Structure 1
Amino acid sequence: MKQKYGKVAVLMGGTSSEREVSLMSGSGVLTALLDRGVDAHPFDPSEKPLSALKSEQFDRVFLILHGPFGEDGTVQGALEVLGIPYTGCGVMASAVGLDKLRTKLLWQAVGLPIPAFELIDAKSDFAAVEKKLGLPLFVKPATEGSSVGVIKVKEAGGLKAAFEEANRFDPLVIAEQFVGGGEYTAAMLGDNVLPMIKIEPATEFYDYEAKYIRDDTVYRCPPDLPAATTEQIVADVKKAFWVIGGKSWGRVDFLMDEAGKHYLLEVNTAPGMTSHSLFPMAARAVGISYEDLVLKVLDTTL
């Protein structure tokens, strides 16, 4: 393994609001690589410059940073300049994927189904947006992950306060139609879509707490969906990942309405790999262990 991969840096931590999640993901990845005999080392770019990857003679990077800097094309561009292979999507796909607004605009342009949305700012007619999208609705920062800053607005007149809260995380804020038939995700490994997962949180929605802290979220993998519906979702997920330029691995989240119609929500270009994470759960459903999954992702750098 040491000869196959050389010296591997597990890029984890960073400076985004998802730092703690990245450290949890990175710890799991590092342990898996060490268990499989890979010469792997933790590397936190908040503690030393990326140029140290070159001076410390790393051959490749398992990139498990989450959020801005780690997932927005910035670090990917730096690794391209350094000439160090890395896991996950490239510069463009990473930049687009973290930006929910640009992702939606691209998907909309090629006819993929997405929930209705509005870009809002301090000058918006909040009452008109509430009327147009209906209540409840969701408000979210355009470039945060892990449900950071996401707020469900249930009562008329609540949009302005929700905007102000989300705006603390990002100058771009989206108001989005509520779709209430269930939350799902589909993991992409190379060109393949792994078994989909239906997420049933005990909380109001699949928020940060439900994702990483609570143990009462129910996951159904694979979910009970008609074969024709599953086939169409798989086709749309592949197209959605291709449209942003995705490669290596990623995750596309989507919603279903009560009538069984699906709506693509967002893409994750550096999926979580914690004990609660969805990607390893989908891999297990087809007999891929956590350790084998980590190696399969690392293989994409060869």
Structure 2
Amino acid sequence: MANQFGKVGVLFGGRSAEREVSNMSGAGVLQALQSRGVDAYPFDPAQRSLAELAAEKFDRVFIALHGRYGEDGTLQGALEQLGIPYTGPGVMASAIAMDKVMTKRIWQSMGLPTPRFAVLDSKTTSPAELQQVPDVLGLPLMLKAPHEGSTIGISKVTDRAGMDDGFALCAKYDEVVLAEEFISGRELTVPVLGAGRDARALPIVEIRAPEGNYDYQHKYFTDDTQYLCPAPLDEALTQRIQALAVQAFNALGCVGWSRVDFMLRAADNEPFLLEINTSPGMTSHSLVPMSAKAAGVSYEDLCVEILSSAALDLTPSKDWAPI
């Protein structure tokens, strides 16, 4: 079976703020594929050029890059040009999903529940305008750099005095800052595999971080965070959230695999969509492998299934030839 994939490149590392996590994800994926007999090789786009990527003559690639230049449609566009099938969503879906503002606007337009929000210009928003945001969204609220992941460039603001520092933190990473209503409740995430009508949600993971602070350190480098999988929810609510995850996935045109993050409001058990990750983490602490395991799918089998979904958005013409 492994022979059907040909020569495979595992792309990891990259130039984003999430390089460290990507290195961990990619190393795990590479080892898993090789253990199943796949002819797989590492490739770091931060250290090697697109010309070198073309010269490798990969039959397909597994994208284990996170964040900008790997998860945002730019690499997907290059792979389309090179004619190399790749894992995960295509150019448009990757670009939209990487932008939390555009993601929320699409979900909102389709009637899918997402917290209320405001978009602030990181350069021109005045202190007075910034102080008006809590009047609209309430306190506490979240400030986010909308093109980052792994909780990089994110701040929970509990009072007006914290608005300036939180805004300054996010402005370091992005030209705009997303201000978002804070939903008090349980943090959930749902991996989705497949495409269109065949897309399926895996078991829900509930994340219980110390003092509700699921930051970069608690995500990847400590064992203080609790993960409950399957999440302790009644069957009706479980099915509702899983269906909503698939709807959110399809709304953006995602294919292959992604992970959809939720908050479940404590007051009434209403789920709210936060964001979607189109190249989720695959580290020892990552949530997609955890969910797959609960569904009876090993890490190695998960990697092979994702690799088998590698494709191009566009079919090259008959006259087309690789560079």
Task: Indicate the TM-score class for this superposition, using the shorter chain for normalisation.
Answer: over 0.9
CA RMSD after TM alignment: 1.2
Give 1:193-232 correspondences, 5 Å limit: 193-232=201-240
Between the aligned partners of 2:39 and 2:2, the Cα distance in structure 1 is: 6
Shift of 1:207: 1.0
Paired AA for residue 116 in structure 1: R
Q: Which residue of 1 aligns with 2:294?
A: 285
Aligned-partner SS, 1:51 = helix
Give 1:124-139 correspondences, 5 Å limit: 124=126, 125-139=129-143
Between the aligned partners of 1:5 and 1:198, the Cα distance in structure 2 is: 34
Between the aligned partners of 1:188 and 1:218, the Cα distance in structure 2 is: 21
For residues 258-289 of structure 1, what are the alpha-carbon distances to aligned partners after superposition, in whole Å with 9 as ceiling and x for unaligned? 11011000000001000000000000001100
Structure 2, gaps ≥5 residues long: 312-323
Aligned-partner SS, 1:248 = strand
CA contact (8 A) 2:201 2:243 kept: no
For residues 29-75 of structure 1, what are the alpha-carbon distances to aligned partners after superposition, in whole Å with 9 as ceiling and x for unaligned? 00001111111100001111122222122111001100001000000
Q: Structure 1 runs of 4+ off > 6 angstroms?
A: none
Q: TM-score, structure 2 length as denominator? A: 0.91
Aligned-partner SS, 1:42 = strand
Between the aligned partners of 1:3 and 1:278, the Cα distance in structure 2 is: 29
- The match for 1:269 among 278, 281, 288 is 278
Paired AA for residue 247 in structure 2: K
CA contact (8 A) 2:93 2:254 kept: yes
CA contact (8 A) 1:203 1:210 kept: no
Q: Which residue of 1 aligns with 2:51?
A: 51
Between the aligned partners of 2:244 and 2:148, the Cα distance in structure 1 is: 23
Between the aligned partners of 1:301 and 1:104, the Cα distance in structure 2 is: 27
Paired AA for residue 182 in structure 1: R
Aligned-partner SS, 2:259 = strand
Shift of 1:232: 1.8
Q: Which residue of 2 aligns with 1:253?
A: 261
Between the aligned partners of 2:243 and 2:208, the Cα distance in structure 1 is: 24
The reply on whether 1:300 has 2:304 as its aligned counterpart is no
Paired AA for residue 150 in structure 2: S
Q: Which residue of 2 aligns with 1:237?
A: 245
Shift of 1:2: 5.0
Shift of 1:203: 4.7
Shift of 1:127: 2.0
Between the aligned partners of 1:62 and 1:262, the Cα distance in structure 2 is: 31
Q: TM-score, structure 1 length as denominator? A: 0.97
Aligned-partner SS, 1:157 = helix
Paired AA for residue 275 in structure 1: S
Between the aligned partners of 2:241 and 2:201, the Cα distance in structure 1 is: 10
Aligned-partner SS, 2:9 = strand
Shift of 1:205: 2.0
The reply on whether 1:60 has 2:68 as its aligned counterpart is no
Shift of 1:158: 1.6
Between the aligned partners of 2:18 and 2:260, the Cα distance in structure 1 is: 18
The reply on whether 1:141 has 2:145 as its aligned counterpart is yes
Aligned length: 302
Structure 1, gaps ≥5 residues long: none
Equivalent pairs: percent with the same residue?
51
Aligned-partner SS, 1:31 = helix
Paired AA for residue 228 in structure 1: A
CA contact (8 A) 1:9 1:60 kept: yes
